[in-house]
Structure 1
Amino acid sequence: MSEQVPAVIPALVFDREYVPVLVGGSVVPRRFAVGGASVVIGPAGMLIIAEASAASARSGVWSAEEVRLIGPAPTPVTERLMGAPWGVDEGSLPIHIAVRVGGEVWYLGTAQVSQAGTSDGVLTDCELRFEAPLSRELLNRVRPPLPPEHLPDLEWLGNVKGDHAAALEQFITGWYPPVDATESPTSNSVSHLPSGLRQLYRLAKQRPGALGIQNRILPGSDLHTDHLGEMLVFGVENQGGFFWSLLWTLEGPEADPTVWFREFDEEPIAEQETLSGFLIQFSLFEASMGADYLALPHKLTAPQVEQLTEALHPVPLRPFWPWAPTHFYVAPGLVVHVSSEDGEAFDIWAGATDRSALDPLAGLPIDWNRFDG
């Protein structure tokens, strides 16, 4: 019955006349507060009414395609969104989304659950995708833009060609906020490693994200040789499909050794950058993968990639990752990596520290699968 609801309704009128229409008026609907939003449940549907806000810690509109519900959520909300363990399946009932803007309620349409997290059976977070994306004008009304935060600068980029250690330090300390320092349990076990890895472990004491979000650099205590006893494994893919290693020697490490990429049953392949450059690439890749704000297009052609990266700065390193050679492009607070297996179709992943850092990509004629700006 959502087609009967005007887009903008005075709040009192919406609560009195339209809420019963959307969720079913045969019984008194149940109301719950979840992460700053009001969730109304009735026999015919669910209604989520959020406040107009861009705060990431509150339930509300996240992007033109997505709304987020931040838990913990009470059991009736959890069961309606994720399905009850028994009884009638209510998952097919519509989920309506609305936002309070001043004294009005803006009805945004319906959405479907795309991803949800639980802890001990309690809904902790839920992402819902709008069935019809919002226009930029409407998005700015229901998710008012916040003043841009301070963005990490690009001072590190000037050191990539001449001083990899300085570039790595400047990038990591600029991208990741520090956490309380803890004594490293691996300080003795990494003393025999090349200086680049020792530096990364030191930085990770206050910035643990530097060891990876998607893939990871192993803690010093977990370093081990490969099954042949020839390579020291220091980095692994998140599902264990491949690993990175250094040639194992009892004579002490090279200053800047070759990094070897290997699937378990395949011959090792040398990364094009030695360890010091590889660690910059690894850090850029993981920073973009773990960023709070993402821009993910569908596969692009070479001309589209050129258009997307035109306003960005290329990172002057040889391609990363032999499986799908990957190049990096950056702007303040933004890392974009571009990968291709065949040189014709390209995968793009852009990660940013703040929504405003995605502004260079906002006006491009690109079909986005997700755009958090």
Structure 2
Amino acid sequence: MEIRLWSVVAEAGALAVAGPGARVHESGDTRFAAGPDATVVIVSGVRNAEDVTVAGPFPRLVEGRLTGGDGPGLQVFTRLPEGLLVLGTARITERGRRRGVLHRVDLRLDTPLPEHLLTLAGTTAEQPGTDWLDLLPDDPVKALEQFTAGWYADVPAGDPVPGTGQPEPLRAFHRAAAGRAELYGGALRVHREPRPGGPDQRMIFGEGGDGTFQLLIDAGVDDPHVYYHGLSDQPLRERERLAAYLMLSVLARAAIDGSPGGMAFADRAQARRIVAPLRRVPLRPLRWPCAHSRLYAGPDLIALVGADDADWFEVYVGARSRPALRRLRKLGLDWASFDG
């Protein structure tokens, strides 16, 4: 099937370009059709007039085509409100791998977009990436710095809280949070300076957003244990120490308070589909908001999956942009809230 460059077509017409018997796959916000005539790639924006970045994970058949030297060419489309804009043929300029697995492909359009169509197509913001995950569990302080620098890249940094006398993980948090007020508020609030007053002479360094519990640490310890005061009769100790806890708390805040985002109750199969394209954060689960609350991350989406029993999961998702949530709209979830 032939289509005209820079025309707007329906999705069915774009998929038909791949040829008869094409196999259609979806990964995150990208849709692929692998057929005898072409490999169709449908994205939600371009980096500039010539370049398109396609993020993984990639279905096995598609990955084979993107890494093999031969095979049908690439035909690229980008979404518009009224249909798909034909971007035409493209070639691969770079393949990004992590631990041997393809996680990103950069494409160069054979015919650059003219300026008026570039405005129409919309450029995608540079994704923050997930390289910070490779620093875990060994260096949560550095991972926190890298994540916040990428996730909140559009928020100008400010002057950090001095943090004099505070343990290094808290000082690092203040440096990362400088100018980003949302990192101090929301579901998990971190105080700019710990204060005395906790049980067993512990310091209060934060609290739940609704005031139902306080966050405690022991004074004078480089990387102390973290305790919840108010969730049970006795202070409840977190699984991770302060440095790793702060990393998890920033991710939890991005998932719970993120907008666009949402919250849903999901069964096990639905929860697996939600996190399928994401990487599990390699730290032990939080004890709040659920007894076992695991974090999952992608370039533009953070998910928290909490389990209090074996049958149902409490799921929170936060994204950097609404297109990152498009895949979740199709899962048939019972959303308690959703603004994607």
Shared fold, TM over 0.5? yes
C-alpha distance after superposition, 1:1-35 (max 9, x if no partner): xxxxxxxxxxxxxxxxxxxxxxxxxxxxxxxxxxx
Question: Does the alignment pair 1:365 with 2:332?
Answer: yes
C-alpha distance after superposition, 1:117-151 (max 9, x if no partner): xxxxxxxxxxxxxxxxxxxxxxxxxxx99554333
| Identity across the alignment (%) | 27
State the one-letter code of the partner of 1:302: R
Bigger radius of gyration, 1 or 2? Answer: 1
Question: Does the alignment pair 1:164 with 2:140?
Answer: yes
Q: Which residue of 2 aligns with 1:4?
A: none
As a proportion of its length, which structure holds more strand?
2
Question: Does the alignment pair 1:209 with 2:176?
Answer: no
* Counterpart-to-counterpart distance in 2, 1:271 and 1:160: 17
Unaligned 5+ runs, structure 1: 1-100, 103-143
Aligned runs of 1:1-373 on 2, under 5 Å? 147-177=123-153, 179=155, 182-184=158-160, 186-187=161-162, 190-220=163-193, 223-228=194-199, 230-248=201-219, 253-263=220-230, 266-297=233-264, 299-322=265-288, 324=290, 325-373=292-340
Pick closer, same or farther for the CA change 1:349–1:146 going to 2, 3 Å: farther
* Counterpart-to-counterpart distance in 2, 1:264 and 1:292: 27
Pick closer, same or farther for the CA change 1:212–1:158 going to 2, 3 Å: farther
* CA contact 1:338–1:347 (8 Å) conserved in 2: yes
Structure 1 outlier segments of 4+, above 6 Å:
none
TM-score, with length taken from structure 1: 0.54
Unaligned 5+ runs, structure 2: 1-80, 83-119
* Counterpart-to-counterpart distance in 2, 1:344 and 1:178: 39
* Counterpart-to-counterpart distance in 1, 2:328 and 2:156: 34
* Counterpart-to-counterpart distance in 1, 2:319 and 2:159: 30
Instruction: Find the residue that maps to 2:240 and give its secondary structure.
Output: coil
How many residues in Structure 1 have an aligned counterpart in Structure 2? 222
The alpha carbon displacement at 1:191 in A equals 1.9
Q: Which residue of 1 aligns with 2:114?
A: none
C-alpha distance after superposition, 1:43-67 (max 9, x if no partner): xxxxxxxxxxxxxxxxxxxxxxxxx
Q: Which residue of 2 aligns with 1:39?
A: none
* CA contact 1:176–1:209 (8 Å) conserved in 2: no
Pick closer, same or farther for the CA change 1:172–1:145 going to 2, 3 Å: same
* CA contact 1:172–1:210 (8 Å) conserved in 2: no
